[in-house]
Amino acid sequence: MTPIKFIAGLVGIYHITIGILGTLSGNIAAEIGRMLFQAQIDVTPQFSYMAKYLGAYVIAFGTMMLVIAKDPVKYRGLIDVAVLLIAIRVLDRIIFASELKAAFGIGFTQSIITISVISIVGLLLLIFKPKAG
């Protein structure tokens, strides 16, 4: 197995799993947020409903990553899409850090950890992206 297949497959399975869990229950989505990001979430009907929408997008991203894992040469263009999404997530974490803190109690240290992890994933996707042709 090549590094790109391993990375894309792992990222895909992770996202599909948390997407499905978040879609099934707002309580589960809140627990995932607490475990992974130390988020303090009040599970309201609005949060539960929005978690379903977010879960759908996370499932779609995970599916795209599994498509990349299946044939990274054929679907190498999707790697750029994944890296773009990662870059947007990093920028959102930086730009909206105060809102993240106010809404979910997620502090600077946790944001740096999250930014670091997803940035490493993005860099690895670029490093191991297959060459054209």
How many percent of the chain have pLDDT more than 70?
A: 99
Give the range of the structural domain holding residue 46, as residue numbers without chain letter.
Answer: 3-127
**Residue 73 belongs to some domain of the structure:** yes
Taking only the tens place, the pLDDT of each residue in 73-122 is 999 999 999 999 999 999 999 999 999 999 999 999 999 999 999 999 99
Our count of domains for the chain comes to 1
Residue 122 lies in a domain: yes
pLDDT at residue 52 tops 80: yes
The C-alpha angle 127, 63, 87, rounded to 5 degrees, equals 45
pLDDT at residue 1 in the model: 87
Angle at which helices 108-127 and 3-24 cross, to 10°: 140
Residue 63 lies in a domain: yes
CA–CA separation, 53 vs 114, rounded Å?
22
Average per-residue pLDDT for the chain = 96
Report how far apart, in Å, the C-alpha atoms of 17 and of each of 36, 43, 57, 126, 130 are: 13, 20, 12, 24, 26
Does residue 133 belong to any structural domain of this protein? Answer: no
Give the pLDDT score at 15.
98
